[in-house]
Amino acid sequence: QVQLVQSGAEVKKPGASVKVSCKASGYTFSNYYIHWVRQAPGQGLEWMGMINPTGGSTTYAQKFQGRVTMTRDTSTSTVYMESSSLKSEDTAVYYCARDHFGMGSYYYWGQGTLVTVSS
Amino acid sequence: SYVLTQPPSASVAPGQTARITCGGNNIGSKSVHWYQQKPGQAPVLVVYADSDRPSGIPERFSGSNSGNTATLTISRVEAGDEADYSCQVWDNSVDHPVFGGGTKLTVL
């Protein structure tokens, strides 16, 4: 069965960086883009960007360009999302997600990683 | 970029029908997806491509999309349906997805 398993919660100080992982299993890793979506406390879902596991090309939401980097390791079927220059407003649950039906929806989700930015 | 508008909250009595709207400019020309999210959990896709249901989603969940409004309808509402519901489309002008702000459904 398809699984996306994320790394554990992180606490960071303002200005620091964080790297969250998302390990995929149960399917051919190269066949599906992995997307990152975050959700600040009490807020809605916000798309951050996506990575093509084949070749590693990325697309970022304009808001995150220059501050977020997505990479992948094909040998372990793992995708990473690194966010730098963290601010308190970056406190959120970060999810990786994948399509299934080919319609631009997200059927498979990781369990989420809480990143807390606090001095 | 494309904006999706949802009412922040809705309420319904058990056994009744809940209708949650998602407004957007000519949204009827786009494919709309709906997610259910309970506290502390990842979102769950309940309707995709306007009106299709993934396996395991009860038939009580249905969707429609026309003009400037898409609607998620939950029939015979149960206490377990209390959750946040968000709509989502793919914005072809910027080639990335857009989410609505979410609607908190309360079962009275």
Three-state SS for B39-105 is CCCCCEEEEECCCECCCCCCCCEEEEEECCEEEEEECCCCHHHCEEEEEEEEECCCCEEEECCCEEE
Q: What is the average pLDDT across A13-35?
A: 97
Question: Is residue A48 within 8 Å of A38, Cβ to Cβ?
Answer: yes
Q: How far apart are CA A20 and CA A82, in angstroms?
A: 6
Question: Is residue B107 within 8 Å of B14, Cβ to Cβ?
Answer: yes
Give the nearest chain B residue to A46 (CA atoms). B99
| Residues whose CB is less than 8 angstroms from the CB of residue A28 and which lie 6 or more positions away in sequence, other chains included | none
CA dihedral of residues B9, B14, B16, B21 (deg, nearest 10): 20
CA–chain centroid gap for B89, Å, is 11
Per-residue pLDDT tens digits for A69-116: 999 999 999 999 999 999 999 999 999 999 988 888 999 999 999 999
Per-residue pLDDT tens digits for B26-84: 999 999 999 999 999 999 999 999 999 999 999 999 999 999 999 999 999 999 999 99
Q: Which of A46, A101, A109 sits opposite B42 (nearest CB)?
A: A109
Test the A interface: residue of B99, B103, B104 with most A CBs within 10 Å: B99
Tokens of A116: 């807390």
- The answer to whether residue B21 scores a pLDDT higher than 90 is yes
Tokens of B43: 């979102």
Chains A–B, number of C-beta pairs less than 8 Å apart: 58
